[in-house]
Structure 1
């Protein structure tokens, strides 16, 4: 099974790297105004979407390993990006943490039911669920960020 576990780790690493690369490309050429623009009430800017999904990625992958992270989830929803470089640095930083967590992921971690302390939804799932949820959650918010950029670019037409 060691070969299968390493193949899974490789797949997870590649999926996250691909997602992070899409995120990097999406913000190319955007200034602070574009990054922090919200399409409307109760809608998030690209900067907020990135801050939230990266914070969640850290939390979800840590949960899969049984690690506890201190987290201020609401702070991500107040985030203002000074520039694209700041967001790129955040992506790079979280990617490094995520790769290190995936390197430590074991079969036991995938099978062990985890209930992270302080989880606002009181979830109890096997480690595999936490990992898969991180990938799906990222994809959801990357799609929102893509749409937000399109709306920003079309607002002046």
Structure 2
């Protein structure tokens, strides 16, 4: 198996997991949090998609984020700000992420995933060694960044599935 095939497989597991976390829910269920200040299903899926969009856009040598170029933000009650991916959000900022429907989450996720899939499918093994972030010691390679994004996304979609299981009947 080639490394790009492995990445396609890893990222390819996310769509089914994201759908399982959000399909069939209404807007209030997407916004529900198990306790004040906790993350909602909608915020978790929005955040994992924002991280992937932000990081993959950067790996595409400065491509614009789909959040910024698309019409997704208004469907979440937000402005299309490239720097807002959810890191460091306060409870009020978490609560402000208000997806109008599962479709809003899925349409944004699907667009980001399609771009990610196309990108990782064409990677060659030597591409993974390219340094993409020198702010760290050691500097971060493209391969490490992709694993980081996949890891972050997998954790957050698991959290969303868990919160779904906590929804009041």
TM-score (norm 1): 0.78
Range moving further from structure 2, 72-81 or 135-144: 72-81
Mapped partners of 1:82, 1:26: distance in 2:
15
Q: CA offsets, 1:74-96, max 9 Å, x none? A: 48843211111111211211111
- 2:149 corresponds to: 134
Q: Is the 8 A contact 1:64 1:126 kept in 2?
A: no
1:42 corresponds, among 32, 37, 40, to 37
Mapped partners of 1:46, 1:131: distance in 2:
23
- 2:16 corresponds to: 21
Q: Is the 8 A contact 2:4 2:124 kept in 1?
A: no
Deviation, structure 1 residue 30: 0.7
| Unpaired stretches in structure 2, ≥5 consecutive residues | 65-81
Calculate the aligned-residue CA RMSD, in Å. Answer: 2.4
TM-score (norm 2): 0.73
Deviation, structure 1 residue 58: 2.1
Instruction: Write the mapping of 1:6-85 to structure 2, written as runs, cut at 5 A.
Output: 7-67=2-62, 70-74=82-86, 77=94, 78-85=96-103
Range moving further from structure 2, 24-33 or 74-83: 74-83
Stretches (4+) displaced over 4 A = 63-66
Size of the aligned set, in residue pairs, is: 144
Mapped partners of 1:103, 1:135: distance in 2:
15
Q: Is the 8 A contact 1:38 1:148 kept in 2?
A: yes
Instruction: Please identify which structure carries the higher helix content.
Output: 1
